[in-house]
A and B are shown apart, each in its own frame.
Chain A
Amino acid sequence: MTTEYETHEHDVLIIGAGGAGLRAALGALAQGARVGVVCKSLLGKAHTVMAEGGIAAAMANVDTADDWRTHFRDTMRGGKLLNNWRMAQIHAQEAPERVRELEQWGALFDRTEDGQILQRAFGGHTFRRLCHVGDRTGLEMIRTLQDRGVQLGIDVYMECTISRLLKDGDRVAGAFGYWREQGRFVVFRAKSIVMATGGIGKAWKITSNSWEYTGDGMALAYGAGAELMDMEFVQFHPTGMVWPPGVQGILVTEAVRGEGGVLRNKLGQRFMEKYDPKKLDLSTRDVVARAIYTEVREGRGTEHGGAYLDISQKPADYVKKKLPSMYHQFKELADVDITKGPMEVGPTCHYMMGGIRVDAETAKSSVSGLFAAGEAAAGLHGANRLGGNSLSDLLVFGRRAGMAAAEHANHVSTTALDSGQIEEAAREMLAPFERDAGESPYTVHRDLQETMQNLVGIFRNKEDLIRALEELEKLKERAGRVSVEGSRLFNPGWHLAQDLKAMLTVSEAVTRSALAREESRGAHSRIDHPGLDATWGTKNNVIVREGSAMMLRQSAVPELPGDLKQLVAEEK
């Protein structure tokens, strides 16, 4: 069989068109590179569009004492010191300039009285730091970036999924994929590739993530030989919707608490007084998620198994102005008027701190020509991410990844494509059509979500994690036998059969890393190993492929230089 496919060529190929991918595209374009961006959905629908609360940047517009040092310290402490300190430093130093740049490209943020960008309070941030547009900051950001990118001449390949990275010896040479619409194959030749594919939430049952978040970038990079890091650190956002069933897991922005919202259990108690008397409702996400989970488990949950989150003490006009999409979301989907009564909320799988291991300055991975930024990359957030640090991450490291990828493309020769790899990728894609009477990919996906939800959730223990690994083995076998109905024309069952492979790879990486880390740190809580362990505090878990086996090893957390060490330790 000779596979038919079209070919496109770019200096830099970016996979993913959320904030990180689009900012990377602009970064690469500024260096004169020919840039292509591939995305699974239509342009402008990536997860960034759903980001609500804001962009963390120490601009000191509201609290004048803020500076990058405080932002750096908050980020390191929030990440329980497992962060790559250099990434945290670059992030804190560069975020304000990246926000100003967005404004210069036309983004319109909410304002202070004296006409500057307004900043709001958020969990774990010492100062009011999140630049925002009501509760639709992500929409403003993605529109600004996409319009600029399209105007400046990036080529966007919408509704296209990459199923495999192509290699030329030890370096990346391109990518193989298919058009979701027509099902035809496509090959991209590129000297550099930036992974900006976001997270992995769709492997869990209760998640704020859309169908796209299946860990493609991490699985593709892993397949190509790159290292993954910190995969045990999966963030459960404390506040997702819990009722009605169809909206379970949909995000309720932390800005509700940032604007004064209060959590209570069914007895009316402000339970955060017990879990974090100092920061209360604005404690870090790991702490608040565990608190709600514990309240529910101990019988103090609400009717539908959550906690109450109440902002109705604020004037109705204020709530509608500052949290318009929350107001509509609850009114239309849950029949709750949040200006009059409380919401019911509970933890939802939201964000992946781990991902592709990258160099702090250049976002390059361990594979030549392969870069990663945003949620797909690891390092900045350590064991737990602070709210607002994701949008700033996308801007700061998206730009750096794009620039470094263009720089790399400038210095290397054209890559050679290997038809053997392409043929193999095509065969693999078509296999589910060849099989008769196999299982539906939907049932395998449902069982994977149950497994990860029940066995690799907020609280973990050795027994569950070992069982999860056994279950994952069975699920891998089942996924290898799924069959799909219909044609290649826009066929969601076929698409899911492909996405399943990536979800299974990242789920295994999460479970293996979680089993290895015998302590509780940030978002990773082991019931059988409560509390921090000093030795584990110096190690990152690193996952790499050896043949067909997933290997896990530990790598030393880069040590902070003296002045920054002192800064982090300072009591404040």
Chain B
Amino acid sequence: MAEAIFEVFRGDREGGQPATYRVPIAPGMVVLDALHHIQAHQAPDLAVRWNCKAGKCGSCSAEVNGRPRLTCKTRMDALPLDKPITVQPMKAFPVIKDLVTDVSWNYRVNKKIPPFEPRPGTDWKIYQEDVDRAQEFRKCIECFLCQDVCHVLREHEEMEQFAGPRFFVRVAALEMHPLDSKSRTRMLKEELGIGLCNITKCCTEVCPEEIHITDNAIIPLKERVVDEFYDPVLMLVRKIRGEK
């Protein structure tokens, strides 16, 4: 039976190194199947997160051959098998053990974002064309691959100043909800650091839900920030009124 060779990171906060495993290949196999095979036959303590195994829950994120991916959707027959397949934890987050990282920072950022606030007196009539626009952002499965790949977080570790693509998608979902009445523009500028994004589109490339993160979420939100805070006419009005 054909085999694949895996080099899987084994280690914890203190450090670690790749360990080599040989795994028999079955038709249609994905990388997560191989990791399960390793757990069942070679390393029962190999730490991996997973749930649905169908690309719906966003639990099994890792870096396969250096690329951030859902391991449940990474087909082995799409990878070169003449050299070892490397599987590493997401680099942007601290390792807990093996492929499991500490993603709790994301949950803390999420908590800062003001929730949906319906317009007073709405009759809850919403039309499909208005829903369509916001639904794209609501597809997000919180795999955090976009956070992992984003330079601002991955290389510059600006976690204090920058919320990352996932949360621009979340803000976009709220701001583009047809009945939402709250503005999060000031927050985008001052707390979530949207200005730090230099629209390289890396996040869009890795999104397993194919959300157009940069074009449909981040750029329109940046435009809102510009309109509200950098429009010369409005700036003048604010200055005359003595507002900030």
- Chain A residues engaging chain B, CB cutoff 8 angstroms: 41-47, 49-50, 100, 103-106, 108-111, 113-116, 118, 133-134, 136, 139-140, 143, 147-148, 150-151, 158, 181, 210-212, 243-247, 250-251, 325, 328-329, 332-335, 440-443, 446, 484-487, 489-494, 496
Pick the contact of A108 from B98, B110, B134 — CB < 8 Å? B134
Contact: B52 with A143, CB < 8 Å?
A: no
Contact: B53 with A150, CB < 8 Å?
A: no
19 contacts between A and B (CB under 8 A): A41-B59, A47-B51, A49-B51, A106-B115, A108-B135, A108-B138, A147-B110, A147-B115, A148-B115, A151-B115, A210-B52, A246-B29, A247-B53, A250-B53, A332-B75, A333-B54, A440-B44, A486-B45, A492-B46
Contact: B116 with A105, CB < 8 Å?
A: yes
CB distance from B241 to the nearest CB of A (A): 33
Interface membership of chain B positions 176-205, coded 1 if the CB is closer than 8 angstroms to chain A and 0 otherwise: 010010000000000000000000000000
Interface membership of chain B positions 9-44, coded 1 if the CB is closer than 8 angstroms to chain A and 0 otherwise: 000100000000000001111100100000111001
Q: What 4 pairs across the A-B complex have the smallest Cβ distances?
A: A244-B28, A493-B44, A106-B116, A486-B45
- B159 an interface residue at 8 Å Cβ cutoff? no
Residues of B within 8 A of A134 (CB): 135
A186, B110: Cα distance in complex, Å: 26
Pick the contact of A110 from B53, B100, B131 — CB < 8 Å? B131
- Most A CB atoms within 10 A — which of B39, B51, B102, B118? B51
Closest partner residue, chain B, to A442 (CB atom): B40
Closest partner residue, chain B, to A446 (CB atom): B40
Residues of B within 8 A of A329 (CB): 54-55
CB distance from B214 to the nearest CB of A (A): 21
- B238 an interface residue at 8 Å Cβ cutoff? no
Closest partner residue, chain A, to B117 (CB atom): A106
Of B80-88, B119-127, B145-153, B218-226, which stretch is located at the interface?
Answer: B119-127
Contact: A212 with B51, CB < 8 Å?
A: yes
Residues of A within 8 A of B180 (CB): 106
Contact: A325 with B56, CB < 8 Å?
A: yes
Known: A492-B45, A493-B45. A44 touches B111 (CB 8 A): no
Contact: A49 with B57, CB < 8 Å?
A: yes
Known: A42-B59, A115-B127. A250 touches B115 (CB 8 A): no
Known: A105-B116, A106-B116, A244-B29. A45 touches B128 (CB 8 A): no
Contact: B28 with A243, CB < 8 Å?
A: yes
- Most A CB atoms within 10 A — which of B26, B52, B127? B52
Interface residues of B in 126-140 (CB under 8 A from A): 126-128, 131, 134-135, 138-139
Residues of B within 8 A of A111 (CB): 126-128, 131
Closest partner residue, chain B, to A111 (CB atom): B128
Contact: A115 with B125, CB < 8 Å?
A: yes
Contact: A491 with B125, CB < 8 Å?
A: no
Contact: A133 with B135, CB < 8 Å?
A: yes
Closest partner residue, chain B, to A134 (CB atom): B135
Closest partner residue, chain B, to A146 (CB atom): B110
Contact: A245 with B110, CB < 8 Å?
A: no
Residues of B within 8 A of A251 (CB): 54
CB distance from B60 to the nearest CB of A (A): 10
CB distance from A499 to the nearest CB of B (A): 13
A244, B49: Cα distance in complex, Å: 22
Residues of B within 8 A of A49 (CB): 51-52, 56-57, 141
Closest partner residue, chain A, to B144 (CB atom): A42
CB distance from A148 to the nearest CB of B (A): 7
CB distance from A137 to the nearest CB of B (A): 11
Known: A150-B110, A246-B33, A492-B45. A42 touches B103 (CB 8 A): yes
Residues of B within 8 A of A43 (CB): 107
A325, B138: Cα distance in complex, Å: 13
CB distance from B179 to the nearest CB of A (A): 9
- Most B CB atoms within 10 A — which of A103, A118, A332, A335? A332
Known: A111-B131, A136-B139, A442-B41. 6 other contacts (CB 8 A): A50-B52, A50-B54, A108-B131, A486-B44, A491-B44, A491-B45
A485, B42: Cα distance in complex, Å: 11
Contact: A492 with B44, CB < 8 Å?
A: yes
Residues of A within 8 A of B50 (CB): 210-211
